[in-house]
Homo-oligomer: A and B are copies of this chain.
Amino acid sequence: MAGVSTATVSRAISNPSVVSEATREAVFDAIRRTGYHINMVARNLRRGRTGAIVVLVPNLGNPFFSLILAGIEQAAAPAGFSVLIVDTKQPHTDQDQLFTYLHTTRADELISLDGALPPDLLARQGEANALPPLVFACEWADESPFVKVVIDNEAGAAMAIRHLHELGHRRIGHVQGPRGNVLTEKRLAGTQKALEELGLPVRPEWFFAGDFSLHSGAEAARQWMALEERPTGVFCASDQMACGFISEIVSAGMSAPRDVSVVGFDDIDIARHFIPALTTIHQPRVAIGQAAARLLIERINDDSGGKAFMDQTLPVELIVRQSTGPAR
């Protein structure tokens, strides 16, 4: 329709400066008139890319991840990348399935929000048919060679403990995340270190098992209530557990911060609207997603290939609300 070859059309679209003014006009005019849209599949085949970033989410049903996904999408879409999501914890997602997804023919890049990927899957990174480049965000697999965008979990835990200490609490407990999770370990380590530095007791019965869920927070509260000598301050490794904890003591006729000061971690949406509003450690979830996506995109566009892309640690912040108060 524009009276030119397909080669020229292609040039007009993907590299407009090499075609003449008049031709470019004619081509774009014809494109408008026909409603032509470029076939991404064909382009990607020829270019040897997929134009997609796969995000591995450990549990899509967990609203914690939604803002991180939003951040990834915000950074990826303007760069022309599609964002593809895979739930790594679905029953259908066995390891072979997963590997198929992770292969380079499906995605140019991976972002994993799941730190517990099957190890032998990660081990294949060096092979001939390698996985696409991978970035961890939020969670990560310790001692793996992959770049990560994370927050300083130890520092966050320490902030929570110091906050309780400043309010006069001397008996401080901790509700942990699921065993084996990196975040659990780091937050636990930060808690213990801060307690020791402040000269506070570290008593095993004040460390409650949990799994980040509301339910496990409530369970921890029951254990807490059964203690002879209760901590007056409790740092929960997630806001959900903090909410569960408070819910449970309230139904038992107690309240926070009157009977116990509670600090959460994450600063999820409800934290500020819970009753009492939750004192917590804020992590910048949108920024984490954006940073991870930008890092990947820069790495793709970096032809030199030699540039070293480094881990990023984003700052956390203590948000003091109503769930903590002076020790009695």
Contact = CB atoms under 8 A, between A and B. Distances in A.
B45 A73 contact: no
A214 interface: yes
A90 B77 contact: yes
Interface string A77-116: 1100011111100101100010011011110000000000
A55 to B, nearest CB: 9
A301 interface: no
A283 to B, nearest CB: 14
Interface stretch (A134-142, A179-187, A243-251): A243-251
A106 B86 contact: no
A309 interface: no
| A-side interface size class | 35 or more
A128 B35 contact: yes
Interface stretch (A6-14, A196-204, A266-274, A291-299): A266-274
A50 interface: yes
Given A35-B127, A69-B60, A85-B69, A74 B92 contact: yes
A41 interface: yes
Nearest to A129: B35
A270 B243 contact: yes
A77 B61 contact: no
Given A61-B286, A67-B61, A273-B244, A74 B90 contact: yes
Task: State the number of copies, please.
Answer: 2
Contacts of A313: none
Interface in A211-268: 214, 218, 240, 243-244, 246-247, 250
A77 B86 contact: yes
Contact of A77 (B35, B40, B41, B92): B92
Interface string A25-43: 0000000001111111110
Contacts of A44: 41
A62 interface: yes
Given A74-B90, A82-B106, A244-B273, 4 more contacts: A41-B50, A77-B97, A85-B85, A214-B273
Q: Which 5 A-B pairs have the closest CB atoms?
A: A63-B63, A60-B70, A35-B129, A39-B105, A61-B70
Interface of A: 34-42, 44-45, 50, 52, 59-63, 65-67, 69-70, 73-74, 77-78, 82-87, 90, 92-93, 97, 100-101, 103-106, 127-129, 214, 218, 240, 243-244, 246-247, 250, 269-270, 272-275, 277, 286
